[in-house]
């Protein structure tokens, strides 16, 4: 017997979203995952503004993904204006991006900790260990970026001031000291995840899909042909009332549905042979935490930042040149596109975020799953729904 199931508010995810499912004998045969967050219009708010304010404004899209939007915005403005920035500034941006990756990934582990640890005492012990590592990630963001939330030092042209070796060494020391704890935490998380899968009777291939992957880099983000991105609107996807309710777009890469994020980076840049289920999304995201701190350690231990870190030229362009800024965010490829006029004012702005890209692959992952397992699949992608409706 077939029936339609529609519900809103997916527990333990960021932002208001919903699913529309066709269910037969308790199994999903077709379904869509979508956003219901009101559109705030950041792209429109930026029109007419000077390009230099883009990192500050776009970082307000979200309190979780703030650094990645600031980095992508700054890179887009610099690309449109043809600006080169000091190599050391790029490395510091990479450090901030990796710190926010860990900060976000570990927050997700806290969100799903009730699934992982049914016993409160064990759960609270795990959360305390997670928060110790997040505190260090926050120290990286604050010491280098200026603040944990919305770091003001991510500027067009680089960083407004040098980073003293004394500050760098203090941050490096904290990262080095916490790495053994982070490695232990990773093992604890993987063990608890395995126990949860058994306890809840979740199949190992839960959420498996046959789609491809999209990433530009392992750590920072590299340019790609922006024409590879096209969009489907809700009106093209839905034939019911949802075409007026859904607030996200559905980006396609090379005209097809793809997955972006930790697994995409592993498949494309580490030759990881994926099995396809969502369990490995948790595993790979947790592994990225250790890799991110190792990379931060390498950068800070090999480079001095006590020098000029900013190209202070005022960014202008011809009103037609498209600047593109790419950053590998915690959840995948984050893209900002901009055009500047001769006064340096924004005449066009477009943002494509990872969760937008993942909406359709999440939808495909639901097919074949038991209805009671749908939330587990969606949560595994750690969707940032507020970002997706900017």
Determine how β-strand 229-232 pairs with β-strand 250-253: antiparallel
Task: Indicate whether 2 belongs to any domain.
Answer: no
Report the CATH number at residue 185.
Answer: 1.10.645.10
Q: Going by C-beta distance under 8 Å and a sequence separation of 6 or more, which residues neighbour residue 75?
A: 221, 324, 325, 326, 327, 336
Q: Across-strand partners of 3?
A: 23
The encoded tokens of residue 229 equal 């991105």
- The tokens 């489907």 sit on which residue? 232
Q: Going by C-beta distance under 8 Å and a sequence separation of 6 or more, which residues neighbour residue 283?
A: 190, 193
Written as tens digits, the pLDDT of the chain (390 aa) is 789 888 898 988 889 999 999 999 999 999 999 999 999 999 999 999 999 999 999 999 988 889 999 999 999 999 999 999 999 999 999 999 999 999 999 999 999 999 999 999 999 999 999 999 999 999 999 999 999 999 999 999 999 999 999 999 999 999 999 999 999 999 999 999 999 999 999 999 999 999 999 999 999 999 999 999 999 999 999 989 999 999 999 999 999 999 999 999 999 999 999 988 999 999 999 999 999 999 999 999 999 999 999 999 999 999 999 999 999 999 999 999 999 999 999 999 999 999 999 999 999 999 999 999 999 999 999 999 999 999
Q: What is the pTM of this model?
A: 0.96
Task: Indicate whether 118 belongs to any domain.
Answer: yes
- What's the structural domain count of the chain? 1
Question: Domain of 79?
Answer: 11-30+44-388
Task: Indicate whether 55 belongs to any domain.
Answer: yes
- Strand extents, DSSP E, the chain: 2-8, 17-24, 27-35, 212-214, 229-232, 250-253, 258-260, 323-329, 332-340, 346-352
The encoded tokens of residue 334 equal 């984050």
Task: Indicate whether 39 belongs to any domain.
Answer: no
Task: Indicate whether 1 belongs to any domain.
Answer: no
Task: Indicate whether 35 belongs to any domain.
Answer: no
How far is it, in rounded angstroms, from Cα 20 to Cα 5? 6
Task: Indicate whether 108 belongs to any domain.
Answer: yes
Task: Indicate whether 3 belongs to any domain.
Answer: no
């Amino acid at each position: 017997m077939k029936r339609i199931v529609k519900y809103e508010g997916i527990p333990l995810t960021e932002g208001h979203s919903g699913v529309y499912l066709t269910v037969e004998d308790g199994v999903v045969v077709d379904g869509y995952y979508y956003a219901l967050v009101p559109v705030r219009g950041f792209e429109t708010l930026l029109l007419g503004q000077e390009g230099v304010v883009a990192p500050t404004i776009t970082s307000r899209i979200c309190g979780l993904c703030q650094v990645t939007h600031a980095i992508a915005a700054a890179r887009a403005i610099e690309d449109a204006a043809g600006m080169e920035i000091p190599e050391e500034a790029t490395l510091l941006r990479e450090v901030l991006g990796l710190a926010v990756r860990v900060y976000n990934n570990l927050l997700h582990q806290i969100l799903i900790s009730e699934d992982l640890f049914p016993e409160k005492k064990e759960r609270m012990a795990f959360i305390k260990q997670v928060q110790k590592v997040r505190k260090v990630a926050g120290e990286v963001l604050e010491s280098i970026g200026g603040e944990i939330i919305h770091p003001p030092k991510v500027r067009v042209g680089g960083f407004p001031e040098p980073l003293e070796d004394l500050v760098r060494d203090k941050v490096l020391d904290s990262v080095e000291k916490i790495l053994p704890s982070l490695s232990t935490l990773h093992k604890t998380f993987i063990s608890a995840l395995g126990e949860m899968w058994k306890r809840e009777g979740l199949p190992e291939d839960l959420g498996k899909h046959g789609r491809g992957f999209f990433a530009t880099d392992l750590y920072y983000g590299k340019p790609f042909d922006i024409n590879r991105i096209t969009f489907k609107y809700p009106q093209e996807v839905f034939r019911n009332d949802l075409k007026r309710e859904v607030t996200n777009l559905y980006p396609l890469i090379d005209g097809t549905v793809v997955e972006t994020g930790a697994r995409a980076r592993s498949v494309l840049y580490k030759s990881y042979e994926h099995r396809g289920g969502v369990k490995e999304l948790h595993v790979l995201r947790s592994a990225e935490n250790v890799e991110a701190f190792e990379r931060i350690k390498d950068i800070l231990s090999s480079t001095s930042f006590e020098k000029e870190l900013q190209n202070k030229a005022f960014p202008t362009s011809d009103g037609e040149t498209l600047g593109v800024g790419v950053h590998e965010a915690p959840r995948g490829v984050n893209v900002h596109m901009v055009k500047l006029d001769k006064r340096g004012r924004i005449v066009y702005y477009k943002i494509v975020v990872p969760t937008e890209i993942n909406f359709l692959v999440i939808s495909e992952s639901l097919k074949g799953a038991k209805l009671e397992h749908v939330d587990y699949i969606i949560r595994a992608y750690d969707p940032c729904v507020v970002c997706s409706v900017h």
